[in-house]
């Protein structure tokens, strides 16, 4: 993950094997002031991607007291999975 102009750019696969590392990188991005996470560089995903994004939103709320963390360029497969789990309104 890299940060450009306050936007955290997720890259590569969002799968269980990478979730712990991506959570730590996401928390660092939040601590550095990022309020937008862009998923346009994401490859493969599994259900842990939803868990990761929800955890980042939770951590953002804990740090700032706000719930305005934004996710941009969500792949259709991820929004479809969110609908299946009944949490599409979170994205």
Q: What is the DSSP letter of 79?
A: H
Find out whether 33 and 67 touch, Cβ atoms under 8 Å.
Answer: no
Residues 46-88 pLDDT 10s: 999 999 999 999 999 998 888 789 999 999 999 999 999 999 9
pTM of the predicted model as reported, rounded to 2 decimal places: 0.89
| Tokens 């991607």 -> residue | 49
Q: What per-residue confidence (pLDDT) applies to 45?
A: 92
Q: Are strands 70-72 and 36-45 parallel, antiparallel or unpaired?
A: parallel
Q: In which element (H, E) is residue 63 found? A: helix 48-64
Residues 2-29 pLDDT 10s: 999 999 999 999 999 999 999 999 999 9
Residue 90 pLDDT > 90? no
């Amino acid at each position: 993950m890299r940060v450009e102009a306050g936007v955290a750019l997720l890259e590569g696969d969002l799968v269980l094997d990478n979730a712990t590392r991506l959570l730590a990188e996401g928390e660092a991005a939040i601590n550095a002031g990022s309020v937008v996470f862009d998923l346009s560089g994401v490859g493969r995903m599994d259900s842990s991607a939803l868990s990761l994004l929800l955890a980042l939103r939770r951590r953002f709320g804990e740090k700032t007291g706000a719930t305005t963390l934004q996710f941009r360029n969500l792949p259709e497969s991820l929004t479809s999975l969110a609908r299946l789990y009944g949490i599409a309104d979170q994205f």
